[in-house]
Amino acid sequence: MAEYGTGRVVVSYSQDSIVEDADGMLHRCTARRSVGKPYCGDMVRFSVQAGGKAIEEILPRRNLLARPNYRNELRPFAANVDLVVITVAVKPPFETMLIDRYLVLAEQLEIEPLIWLNKLDLAGGERDAELARLDVYRRLGYRVLAGSVRSGEGLDALEACFKGKTGILVGQSGVGKSSLIQRLIPNIELRIGALSEASGLGRHTTTETTLYHLPGGGDLIDSPGIRTLRLGHLSPAQIAHGFIELRPFQGQCRFADCRHLAEPDCAVRAAVERGEVEPARLQSFHTLLQEETADRP
Ligand SMILES: Nc1nc2c(ncn2[C@@H]2O[C@H](COP(=O)(O)OP(=O)(O)O)[C@@H](O)[C@H]2O)c(=O)[nH]1
Ligand SMILES: [Mg+2]
Ligand SMILES: [Zn+2]
């Protein structure tokens, strides 16, 4: 007679997955071929039999994040994510265009974004100017936090945002993502040791996409190498959807397929002229549209 359990995939290797049950027990499970591939963050039902533990069912996903592999094919890596922390830093300096790109992705996936400006300790006299660059996002209603992994400023507020959620950090290399993870998960080495033991595969490495628990509540999925999460093929309408301030103008331009460039009677450019839409945001919108159309075969 088989026993059954439910849990969450905290790491998924090519063959097996490690599933954590509600009591925090780790189970190394093989997925039955019929259930498909489980990903980090998946909720699953598994069976325990004399022959081993098997994932019998992957419960319905809220979402599935993907990124391109070395052959530029989109590959899923994390499921059931509900917070995307878009990490930028004072140094290396950030381009708002990158933030806009991640916001389109978050809006498309319907995952709450949060913008974290790191390394505020390096801002010196530019502190207010750096913070002001993010005002546009505050005005749009996005959560914006700033601080420093080095000085500790702002980290409590950031950590509190993870409560009851599964978050993921995205951002360019060098902005402080790894440092932040070390700060948010102080016992990370212990956890890695426990995962290594559960996998029986020797040392678990941080190159595997892994779900960690934050001491104050909430989870963080760490996935190395999520650089620019590619947008995949999005239609102009989908990109427009990612610029939330453009949504009210849907259908307001003279031409239904208006790209808000030089078309007559463009409601979006009129809004820019009235100061209701930030010109830099419209510029980002055009850049993303261009990239998408250039991508198409
Ligand atoms: N001054 C300062 N340096 C930081 C801060 N956070 C990270 N760093 C440094 O920035 C560099 C890159 O950090 P890392 O965590 O590897 O960035 P990642 O590439 O995004 O994972 C390292 O030398 C860190 O010590 C911070 O808040 N202030
Ligand atoms: Mg790193
Ligand atoms: Zn228009």
Question: Could you report the per-residue pLDDT of 115-135, keeping only the tens digit for each?
Answer: 999 999 999 999 999 999 999
Q: Structure tokens of 135?
A: 């005002």
Evaluate: CB of 92 within 6 angstroms of ligand 1: no
Evaluate: CB of 223 within 6 angstroms of ligand 1: no
Distance CA 279, CA 285 (A): 10
Q: Mutate which of 179, 188, 206 to test ligand 1's pocket (most atoms within 8 Å of Cβ)?
A: 179
What does the pLDDT look like over 69-97, one tens digit per residue? 778 788 899 999 999 999 999 999 999 99
Per-residue pLDDT at 176 exceeds 90: yes
Residue 154 CB-half CA count within 13 A: 15
Residue 207, pLDDT score: 75
Instruction: State the chain's mean pLDDT as an integer.
Output: 92
Give the closest residue (by CA) to ligand 1 atom 17: 176
Which conformational region is residue 251 in: left (phi greater than 0), alpha (psi within -120 to 50 degrees), or beta?
left
Q: Mutate which of 90, 116, 145, 149 to test ligand 1's pocket (most atoms within 8 Å of Cβ)?
A: 149
Evaluate: CB of 122 within 6 angstroms of ligand 1: yes
Residue with tokens 């055009």: 286
Residue 160: which residues within 8 A CB-CB, separation 6 or more?
216
Q: Name the amino acid, one letter, at 81.
A: V
Range name among 33-37, 132-136, 153-157, 205-209 with the lowest pLDDT average? 205-209
Asked if 157 and 127 count as a contact pair (C-beta separation under 8 A), the reply is no
- Which stretch of DSSP H or E encloses residue 213? strand 210-213
Angle 76-89-41 (CA atoms, 0-180°, nearest 5)?
25
Asked if 68 and 84 count as a contact pair (C-beta separation under 8 A), the reply is no
Query: What value does the mean pLDDT take over residues 54-62?
Result: 97
Name the pLDDT band for 203 (thresholds 50, 70, 90): low
Q: Which residue has better confidence, 211 or 250?
A: 211
Residue 142, pLDDT score: 98
Buried b (16+ CB within 10 A) or exposed e, 258-296: bbbeeeeebbbbebbeeeebbeebbebbeebbeebeeee
Q: Maximum distance among all alpha carbons in the chain?
A: 72
Asked if 76 and 65 count as a contact pair (C-beta separation under 8 A), the reply is yes
Evaluate: CB of 150 within 6 angstroms of ligand 1: yes
Domains of the chain: 3-58 (2.40.50.140), 64-222 (3.40.50.300), 236-295 (1.10.40.50)
Per-residue pLDDT at 1 exceeds 90: no
Evaluate: CB of 287 within 6 angstroms of ligand 1: no
Q: Regarding beta strands 43-49 and 3-12, do their DSSP bridges make them parallel or antiparallel, or are they unpaired?
A: antiparallel
In sequence order, which ranges of the chain are alpha helices (DSSP H)?
96-109, 127-132, 135-139, 155-160, 177-184, 188-199, 236-242, 267-273, 279-295
Per-residue pLDDT at 228 exceeds 70: no
Residue 225, pLDDT score: 66
Residue 226, pLDDT score: 66
Query: Mind spelling out the 3-state secondary structure of 48-87?
Result: EECCEEEEEEECCCCCEEEEECCCCCEEEEEECCCEEEEE
| CA neighbor of 225 nearest in space, from 75, 107, 118, 117 | 75
Range name among 30-44, 69-83, 85-99, 155-169 with the lowest pLDDT average? 69-83
What does the pLDDT look like over 95-114, one tens digit per residue? 999 999 999 989 998 999 99
Buried b (16+ CB within 10 A) or exposed e, 226-242: beebbbeebeeeebbbb
Per-residue pLDDT at 261 exceeds 70: yes
Name the pLDDT band for 165 (thresholds 50, 70, 90): very high
Q: Distance from the CA of 252 to the center of ligand 3, in angstroms?
A: 8
Distance CA 137, CA 9 (A): 33
Total-model pTM: 0.93
Residue 231, pLDDT score: 54
Nearest ligand, measured from the Cα of 261? 3
Distance CA 231, CA 223 (A): 17
